[in-house]
């Protein structure tokens, strides 16, 4: 195999592939990226047995062929090469080496045979549709903060993507929760998605797939089966196993009867929470909210480190209320608000609190209070 490829194109392809590779591997071939050159293009394929990413790039192929080489090493080399350099990759199967040449630089890397590289079994996808990158980005960006990190409740270690009924008809919905907070984000149902089975997309997949979604103009082809999900752009295909489990009935957690309405400027609120939380002890990070007519007092009292208090002008017309929250959860939820105002709906100091952006029902967040 011998190919020549521009450094920027190579870096983009290799960086997407190498990010899937696990740093600690018991199986040596999983640390490698499979390079396949044919026709006028080259494919870079990497996997951790749960996720597979295939990245296509244009290249001058002098000799077709394939080999596998350490993904992180290749990425580091390409990253350190000068901008605009033409990189030549030459594989010598007999010697088990891949030569990387650019200008006066020359590297020789150990390879492993391509036959050892595990290729993910192809599967039949029951549902195929395409959605704009910006829509998918919003769905996953706004929900992923609530993904649980508890391995014991593995079915919460991802984002539940499914078709749901909303007031205006069926929607494509993403939900994530860790038991302390919940995010529920809706988007218009893409054509062809109505028969999609609900799947739990793992946390790592959400992070990797996010890298495909930076171009607003692009449509992403999504394919879903009961065991796998695939996201594809013209250049990159990401296939992932989904979490085998049943996502709990989240609708029971979303409070319907909360009547005490607080409206506050989201960025002012987040900054104030951040300031008062500075003195709180790391473990609890509890912030107390005191609500009175048109004013909110945020306070933290940490006996070992000090106390802090800040007052905000807000829109609130109900009876006074004291309620405590974990500062980190409040900050994460407030940072999801794109518009100026966040609307909090309270019931009592022991009940879950609902938050949304203005009157927008398509993004709803729930956070559990804590005792302060």
Q: pLDDT tens, 40-74?
A: 999 999 999 999 999 999 999 999 999 999 999 99
Fold held by 2-116? DNA Polymerase III; Chain A, domain 2 (3.10.150)
Q: Which residues contact 102 (CB under 8 A, 6 or more apart)?
A: 7, 81, 82, 85, 86, 87, 88
pLDDT of 281 above 80: no
pLDDT of 365 above 80: yes
The confidence score (pLDDT) of residue 304 equals 81
What is the rounded average pLDDT of the residues 244-258?
95
What is the model's pTM?
0.92
The confidence score (pLDDT) of residue 358 equals 85
Q: What percent of the chain has pLDDT over 70?
A: 99
pLDDT of 282 above 80: no
The confidence score (pLDDT) of residue 233 equals 94
pLDDT of 15 above 80: yes
The confidence score (pLDDT) of residue 72 equals 95
Angle at 210 between CA 197 and CA 188, to 5 degrees: 50
The confidence score (pLDDT) of residue 259 equals 94
- With CA atoms as reference, report the closest residue to 325 among 293, 294, 358, 353: 353
From-to residues of CATH 3.10.150.10 in the chain: 2-116, 127-252, 254-367
pLDDT of 284 above 70: no
What is the rounded average pLDDT of the residues 303-322?
93
Q: How far is CA 148 from CA 157, 194, 217, 249, 339, in A?
A: 5, 28, 31, 16, 26
What's the whole-number average pLDDT of the chain?
A: 94
- State in words which class domain 127-252 has: alpha beta
Q: How many residues does this entry show for the chain? A: 372
What is the rounded average pLDDT of the residues 220-224?
96
List, edge to edge, every strand of the sheet that includes 295-302.
306-313, 295-302, 286-292, 321-326
Q: What is the CATH number of domain 254-367?
A: 3.10.150.10
What is the rounded average pLDDT of the residues 124-136?
95
The confidence score (pLDDT) of residue 149 equals 94
The confidence score (pLDDT) of residue 283 equals 63
């Amino acid at each position: 195999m011998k190919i020549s490829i521009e450094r920027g194109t190579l870096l983009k392809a290799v960086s997407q592939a190498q990010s899937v590779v696990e740093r600690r591997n018991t199986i040596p071939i999983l640390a490698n990226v499979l390079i396949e050159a044919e026709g006028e293009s080259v494919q870079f394929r990497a996997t951790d047995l749960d996720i597979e990413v295939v990245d296509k790039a244009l290249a001058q192929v002098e000799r077709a062929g394939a080999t596998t080489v350490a993904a992180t090493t290749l990425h580091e080399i390409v990253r350190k090469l000068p901008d605009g350099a033409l990189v030549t990759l030459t594989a010598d199967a007999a010697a088990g080496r891949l030569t990387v040449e650019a200008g006066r630089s020359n590297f020789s890397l150990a390879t492993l045979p391509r036959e050892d590289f595990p290729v993910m079994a192809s599967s039949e996808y029951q549902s195929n549709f395409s959605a704009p990158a910006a829509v998918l980005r919003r769905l996953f960006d706004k929900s992923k903060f609530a993904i649980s990190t508890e391995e014991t409740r593995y079915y919460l270690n991802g984002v539940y993507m499914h078709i749901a009924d909303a007031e205006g008809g069926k929607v494509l919905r993403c939900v994530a929760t860790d038991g302390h907070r919940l995010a529920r984000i809706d988007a218009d149902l893409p054509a062809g998605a109505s028969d999609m089975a609900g799947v739990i997309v793992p946390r790592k997949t959400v992070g990797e797939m996010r890298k495909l979604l930076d171009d607003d103009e692009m449509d992403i082809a999504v394919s879903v089966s009961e065991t796998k999900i695939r996201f594809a752009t013209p250049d990159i295909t990401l296939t992932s196993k989904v979490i085998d489990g049943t996502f709990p009935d989240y609708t029971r957690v979303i409070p319907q009867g909360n009547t005490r309405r607080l409206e506050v400027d989201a960025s002012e609120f987040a900054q104030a929470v951040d300031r008062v939380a500075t003195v709180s002890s790391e473990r609890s990070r509890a912030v107390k909210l005191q609500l009175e007519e048109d004013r909110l007092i945020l306070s933290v009292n940490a006996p070992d480190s000090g106390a802090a208090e800040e007052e905000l002008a807000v829109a609130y017309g109900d009876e006074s209320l004291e309620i405590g929250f974990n500062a980190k959860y409040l900050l994460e939820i407030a940072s999801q608000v794109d518009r100026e105002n966040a609307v909090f709906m309270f019931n009592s100091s022991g009940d879950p609190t609902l938050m949304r952006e203005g009157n927008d029902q398509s993004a709803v967040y729930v956070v559990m209070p804590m005792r302060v």
